Amino acid sequence: YALYDQEMWDKYQLAKLVGKGFDRNTLILEKAIASANASDYESPTGVFSPQNNSIPALQRRGVVFMSCHNAIWEQATKLCEIGVNPDRLEVDTLAAELTNHLIPDVVLIPGAVATLPELQQAGFHYAR
């Protein structure tokens, strides 16, 4: 759910599905440390430290986030099943709405199971 914008978090009450510690999608929010001096790259509290590990900060460092379309369909199905569907959308329409609300620069892939081996053959590594 981390790759959806706040509008989807609010509309579909995603914080309730994520569990404790999240009342909103804080992973997409810039942290104050993001404006720190980047020349101090070894600072344990600087711009390249774990204190600045929001999704936008990681994207600026070259991390590519991928969103599995199959997982989006599963999430849309679950939202319909548990009745968190204020517009009473069909699963396909709800999945399309979620897809349209991925945060900027997320790469939508058809399915992680098929995509990850292809990327690994090209030299990429999967980190979970």
pLDDT in tens, 22-77: 899 999 998 887 877 788 888 888 888 888 889 999 999 999 999 999 999 999 99
More confident residue, 19 or 86: 86
Is the pTM higher than 0.75?
Answer: yes
Alpha carbon separation from 57 to 26, 35, 60, 98, 125 (Å, rounded): 13, 10, 5, 23, 20
25-31, long-range: CB < 8 A, 24+ apart: 25/1, 27/2, 27/54, 27/55, 28/2, 28/54, 28/55, 28/56, 28/103, 29/54, 30/54, 30/56, 30/57, 31/57
